[in-house]
Amino acid sequence: MFDLALAIAEELDKSYNDNGTVKGPLHGLPVSLKDQFHVKGYDTSMGYVGWVGTYEGDPNPAKVHKIDSQVVKELVSLGAVLYCKVNLSQQNLIRIIESAILDQSAPNSFGTCFGSPLHSKSWPRAAHLKGMAT
């Protein structure tokens, strides 16, 4: 998805440089999506291992990787550049950033994890940064 995003961003830059116009109010804005939104060509699992390589569990090849969610269509039509899908827990029911499919998010250079401060590994660091830890 990242390589495609770079190609789309280059096209948007070229279009702006050639014509002086933008595609829309989100022209070139990088957007990450939770893994609950369908993007053509990519898995959407909602955290379910059984949904990998299917369309919401349905292996019908007419649907798998062939549908964009409405929000995806809207974002792209407004000029946004979709560059990644982010991890979520099974069916997005609990506030953690681990999943059986993508594992957990990596810490950043500040020593904190991206995502929920309630994640078991990021909570102590997040609490310390907020002055909550003793």
28 by DSSP, 3-state: which?
coil
Which of 71, 69, 87 is CA-nearest to residue 26? 71
Half-sphere exposure of 64 (CA within 13 A, CB side): 9
Query: Would strands 30-34 and 103-104 be described as parallel, antiparallel, or unpaired?
Result: unpaired
Per-residue pLDDT of the chain (134 residues; tens, 9 = 90+): 788 899 999 999 999 999 999 999 999 999 999 888 999 999 888 878 888 899 999 999 999 999 999 999 999 999 999 999 887 766 666 655 555 555 555 444 444 444 444 444 444 444 444 444 44
Q: Kindly state the tokens that stand for 129.
A: 């940064």
Residue partners of 46: CB distance under 8 A and separation at least 6: 35, 36, 56, 88, 90, 91, 92
State how far the Cα of 53 lies from the Cα of 59, in Å rounded to an integer: 7
Tell me the pTM: 0.65
